Structure 1
Amino acid sequence: MLENLIIENFAIIEKISLQFDEGMTVLTGETGAGKSIIIGALLLLTGGRANSDMIRHGSKKAILQAIFNVKNNQVIMAQLSDQGIDVEDNQLIIYRELNQNGRSVIRINGVLVNLKFLALIGRQLVDIQGQNDTQQLLNSDEHLMLLDAFGGEQLQKVKSLYLNEFLDFKAVTQRIRQIQSSQQEMTQRLDLLQFQQQELIDADLKPNEEDDLVDARGKLINYKKIADRLNNTQLALNSDQGGAIDLLAEAMHELQEIAEYDDAYAELAKTIADSYYTAQEVGRDIDEQISELTYDEEQLIRIDERLQLIHSLERKYGSTVNDVLMFKQKVDAELAVLNDDTFNIEQLQIKQNNLRQSLRQKAMRLRENRQQVARELEQNVNAQLSELLMSGAQFAVEFESIEGFTSSGSEKVQFYVQTNVGEGMLPLSKIASGGETSRLMLALKTTFAKQQQIISIVFDEADTGVSGRVAQAIARKMLTIASTSQVFAITHLPQVAAAANHHFLIAKTTDSDRTVTHVTPLDESGKAHAIAMMLSGDDVTEMALANAKELRAKIGNLT
């Protein structure tokens, strides 16, 4: 519910802060006092478009803020979570700032959001029902959704079964269309992939193969240089004229002879000995390398040819052998899809026909269930109309079959109404009488309040054009809606004001040549006085007060 509303420097309102509660709240006051300005502020806080003319004259900016309690509203919670907006203590704080430069700042729980997201959330927070309202109930595109919501969980199960079948049917149908519209393109693609796959299979590349081949080629083309250097190294180590190993042996022997005389000589002898043994080991390794070193010209040719193939594949499919191998994996995966049975258009068409038959049966079942729900809805709304003293009115749900299937079924639904006997049924949006529209909207609001899950409903002079017993009936209906949704009513009818749980009086005064709007919450005495003014005008007599209290006692406890 709406718990708090703050308005600063908006139109003729300088600053007000209003606290609201559950149930039904009325706002009364003279025409032009600012009642509609409060509704305008709510509109902006729930996604309405703004302009700088709305800012109070002489002010740089206007500030609007509303605090809603969104307890148990999982839809809103999920939408906020998707935007990274946290909700603490079930409170949703909407802040909107209007600036003279035309820019608007919007925050929800401190997080900046755009107008589109605010409107998405706002549709579920507040529904403003006016005299010439053309919102959800008058929009025929919304009627099917409203009917399904009224049908409850049982209808939703049938609808889900249909929707699952529809999605399968749609997927197969789209696949068939894709194949039919791009058969040549897909055939060309298939040929290309098959060629690439075979080329890569024939190449039989191995990970890191190129590096190994480059190393082997380097040894072969530098065979003579490597052989000469190895032999020279061996001669340097083991020459007949005394190589490095013999010289190290001699040096080691000389130092060992004097090692006993000084620890430093002993350490030097040990170091020379380590070098001697290392040199011997190196000499043996070089002998082994020389014995293994061979030159195979045919092998060099094979390596060059293999490297040329690898370089050719790298130019086509990737900069390294590993990249080429990854490309092959992608080719294999795409070919697996194209070669799958789903590529067979004949099999797909058989599957499509089977799904079409099944879908047609589920669509018929959904339609039958909807028609049952429609009869219940008609009875409910017509009962509400009767209670609103529209005994000659009749509400009906009309079905129109459509060709093919949609995600919502195979029919359209539109609400029709006859407001007077003999006039014939007309689409809901065609009704003209203001008073009849008000009562019809109330009847529908009473019926759909729970299904729509709207937190707050505002009736902006929706009771215009009625009086007497009809006004009492409207008050009763507003109270009924207030049992499931918070209700606000801007009204000039004493009967509606008398039924409210809470009453705010809106008045304007002139202060220092400026018009200022004041909003006053009324206690029981104030409520009686305000209702008396609605009954008799500014001259409130004792009789008028007595009538107001009697009306309050009579209507105020209606349920």
Structure 2
Amino acid sequence: MLYSLHVKNLALIKEQEIEFSKGLNILTGETGAGKSVIIGSVNLALGGKTDAGLIRTGEESALVELIFGELNDQQKKFIKDMDIDLDEDGTVIIQRKIMPGRSVSKICGETVSARQLKDIASILINIHGQNDHQELLHKKKHMEILDDYCMNELKTPLQELSLRYEEMRSLEKELEDMSMDESSRLREQELLEFEVNEINDANVVLGEDEELESRYHKMVNSRKISEAAYAASAMTSGNDGEDSASDLIGRAVRELSSVSGYDSDIEDLLSQLSDIENLLTDFNHSLSDYVSDLEFDDEDFRNTEDRLNTLNHLKDKYGGSLEKVLEYLEEKSSRLEALSDLDAVRDKLTKSLNDKKKEVLLLCKKISDIRKKGAKSLQDKLTEALIDLNFLDVRFEIEIKSDEDKISSKGYDDAQFMISTNPGEAMRPLDQIASGGELSRIMLALKTVVADKDDISTLIFDEIDAGISGRTAWKVSQKLGELSKDHQIICITHLPQIAAMSDTHFMIEKGLDDGRTVTSISKLDADASTSELARLLGGEEITDAVIQNALEMRKLAEETKRG
């Protein structure tokens, strides 16, 4: 559940913290007081789009922090799999700092990407606003809702279908590539033969280009290398007749040898110097051999250069490396072999494709059967929930149409919600009948029906009361109370019937602080909550009769919750 929301320097909020409770949390306030900012701040913390204009005027940044606790095992595992450690008390702290041009998000102190933030948000909380209600008008959403409802049975066959469908599409692509007339086949075959022969004639050996590059570089710079080597030889071996390192060390050895008998320490020094003389002799022999190897003729140079050019040409043309060249050779050789016996290859591909399509269709049929069974269950439960929400004569059906010519990785079904809200009216698509208020009730009914299947315990409803009033509002209030028994509900409302059902009631107000407008949020006690209900009931003038009405509404709500 969501323990708390902390907001600082966001829009009209200077700094506020709300500690939510279990059950039904209601937020009320005058129009324009900033209720939308509260829900907006939660969205921002969970990865919503930022805007520098949201930062409070005169401040450098804004901060939103959410603290979640009492996570279930699935939520804990999801977070652990993301290599994020929960706090010692088992809570998850999500922070988002918003600055001009950028934002920084952290979960339990670890900086995370926008993708990670949204992934974690998706398992912790569901936010439902009027945009979500409008999504019910799109058929695509209907299939998503049905599949979510049936996911326990659908998960494995859908995963298998996705794999088989991709295999089928791959075979279709291969067969399509083989669909050509004779002249096209001959043209492609001729090009492939040229490319395959070009690579085969080069006798490519992996690593050869690197060895040739090194040898070529050495050849190109052989003059400079030779001059340096000869100079080093002259300095160390004494071949030029001048004093060299070898001559000087030899003389030093002789000098120490002449006195080594007088002191044992001299013998140790003489031994070290003799080792140096031997090392220098070995070095001179190695240097001499190296200089000898530097000698090469013009033909050797040209052959090395030509071979290197050949390999570089193949790399430029077929992939950038000899490994890629050989992969290209293997691929094109297979293609050439297929073109050489095109009819046989086509026949084989066609048979494989037909077999794969049968597998796909069988999976589609299995998935469709699961959906149709689930649709019957879902539509019955939804009808019952809608009747509870004052759709007294409602008929609701989930229409599923299957088309084997419209296969996708999700199957071949098309789902659509059909409804009739009045006796005698024919069933019609949801988007042709439902009003805004009806859509909000249908969404609430859906959430009530799927609550037992939903692992997310915190639900936010923004403007769930759009377009409703009177008895219908009371029915919606009862349904929210029912849903809040097993879920934490946070709901913004304008209706006293819904506010009366609250377990915790918050008031959002707009006022002045040091001459500036600020939005503040306060938790109401029972008397203050009654006064706010009276305001919602009575408008500008709060009479004793309105207060009494508010008290009766609170009493009725308490009795309903106990029932």
Q: TM-score, normalised on structure 1? A: 0.70
1:197 is aligned to 200
1:392 is aligned to 393
1:539 is aligned to 543
Q: Return the alpha-carbon distance in structure 2 between the equivalents of residues 64 and 484 of structure 1.
A: 31
Q: Return the alpha-carbon distance in structure 2 between the equivalents of residues 338 and 90 of structure 1.
A: 57
1:175 is aligned to 174
Q: Return the alpha-carbon distance in structure 1 between the equivalents of residues 190 and 393 of structure 2.
A: 68
In structure 2, do the counterparts of structure 1 residues 354 and 306 end up closer, same or farther at CA, with 3 Å as the change threshold? farther
**2:540 is the alignment partner of 1:555:** no
Q: Return the alpha-carbon distance in structure 2 between the equivalents of residues 191 and 120 of structure 1.
A: 51
1:106 is aligned to 104
How far off its partner does 1:385 sit? 0.7
1:316 alignment partner AA: T
Q: Return the alpha-carbon distance in structure 1 between the equivalents of residues 42 and 77 of structure 2.
A: 20
1:428 is aligned to 430
2:32 is aligned to 32
Q: Return the alpha-carbon distance in structure 2 between the equivalents of residues 438 and 451 of structure 1.
A: 20
**DSSP 3-state at the match of 2:203:** helix
In structure 2, do the counterparts of structure 1 residues 557 and 342 end up closer, same or farther at CA, with 3 Å as the change threshold? farther
1:42 alignment partner AA: V
User: 1:363-388, CA deviations, whole angstroms, 9 ceiling, x for partnerless residues?
Assistant: 12221221111111111111111121
**DSSP 3-state at the match of 1:409:** coil
How far off its partner does 1:106 sit? 3.3
Q: Return the alpha-carbon distance in structure 2 between the equivalents of residues 49 and 330 of structure 1.
A: 43
Listed as ranges, the matches of 1:77-226 within 5 Å are 87-88=86-87, 89-99=90-100, 103-109=101-107, 110=109, 118=117, 122=121, 125-131=124-130, 133-134=132-133, 136-178=135-177, 184=187, 188-189=191-192, 191-200=194-203
How far off its partner does 1:18 sit? 0.8
The higher radius of gyration belongs to 1
1:368 is aligned to 369
Q: Indicate the larger mover: 333-342 or 413-422.
A: 333-342
1:8 alignment partner AA: K
**DSSP 3-state at the match of 1:499:** coil
The question of whether the paired residues in 1 share the 8 Å contact of 2:133 and 2:440 is answered with no
User: 1:23-81, CA deviations, whole angstroms, 9 ceiling, x for partnerless residues?
Assistant: 2211123333332221232233334434454444x433452413242734858975896
The one of 507, 512, 527 equivalent to 1:505 is 507
Listed as ranges, the matches of 1:380-459 within 5 Å are 380-402=381-403, 403-449=405-451, 451=453, 453-454=455-456, 456-459=458-461
Q: Indicate the larger mover: 509-518 or 109-118.
A: 109-118
How far off its partner does 1:400 sit? 3.7
How far off its partner does 1:14 sit? 2.5
Which stretches in structure 1 are left out of the alignment for 5+ residues? 215-261, 279-302, 320-325
User: 1:142-168, CA deviations, whole angstroms, 9 ceiling, x for partnerless residues?
Assistant: 322221121132222222332222121
User: 1:156-190, CA deviations, whole angstroms, 9 ceiling, x for partnerless residues?
Assistant: 22223322221211222233345558965576345
2:341 is aligned to none
Q: Return the alpha-carbon distance in structure 1 between the equivalents of residues 457 and 431 of structure 2.
A: 25
Q: Return the alpha-carbon distance in structure 1 between the equivalents of residues 461 and 261 of structure 2.
A: 109
Q: Indicate the larger mover: 396-405 or 176-185.
A: 176-185
How far off its partner does 1:443 sit? 0.8
The question of whether the paired residues in 1 share the 8 Å contact of 2:199 and 2:329 is answered with no
2:357 is aligned to 356
2:462 is aligned to 460
How far off its partner does 1:535 sit? 4.4
2:64 alignment partner AA: Q
2:290 is aligned to none
Q: Return the alpha-carbon distance in structure 2 between the equivalents of residues 172 and 341 of structure 1.
A: 14
**2:53 is the alignment partner of 1:49:** no
Q: Indicate the larger mover: 478-487 or 153-162.
A: 478-487
In structure 2, do the counterparts of structure 1 residues 335 and 404 end up closer, same or farther at CA, with 3 Å as the change threshold? farther
In structure 2, do the counterparts of structure 1 residues 179 and 135 end up closer, same or farther at CA, with 3 Å as the change threshold? farther
The question of whether the paired residues in 2 share the 8 Å contact of 1:536 and 1:544 is answered with no
Q: TM-score, normalised on structure 2? A: 0.70
User: 1:282-329, CA deviations, whole angstroms, 9 ceiling, x for partnerless residues?
Assistant: xxxxxxxxxxxxxxxxxxxxx99898766543321269xxxxxx9777
Q: Return the alpha-carbon distance in structure 2 between the equivalents of residues 66 and 186 of structure 1.
A: 64
User: 1:224-269, CA deviations, whole angstroms, 9 ceiling, x for partnerless residues?
Assistant: xxxxxxxxxxxxxxxxxxxxxxxxxxxxxxxxxxxxxx969xx99x
2:412 alignment partner AA: S
2:310 is aligned to 316
The question of whether the paired residues in 2 share the 8 Å contact of 1:193 and 1:331 is answered with no
The question of whether the paired residues in 1 share the 8 Å contact of 2:481 and 2:561 is answered with no
In structure 2, do the counterparts of structure 1 residues 50 and 61 end up closer, same or farther at CA, with 3 Å as the change threshold? same
Q: Return the alpha-carbon distance in structure 1 between the equivalents of residues 558 and 458 of structure 2.
A: 26
Q: Indicate the larger mover: 68-77 or 144-153.
A: 68-77
Q: Return the alpha-carbon distance in structure 2 between the equivalents of residues 329 and 157 of structure 1.
A: 39
How far off its partner does 1:132 sit? 6.1
In structure 2, do the counterparts of structure 1 residues 313 and 150 end up closer, same or farther at CA, with 3 Å as the change threshold? same
Q: Indicate the larger mover: 469-478 or 45-54.
A: 45-54
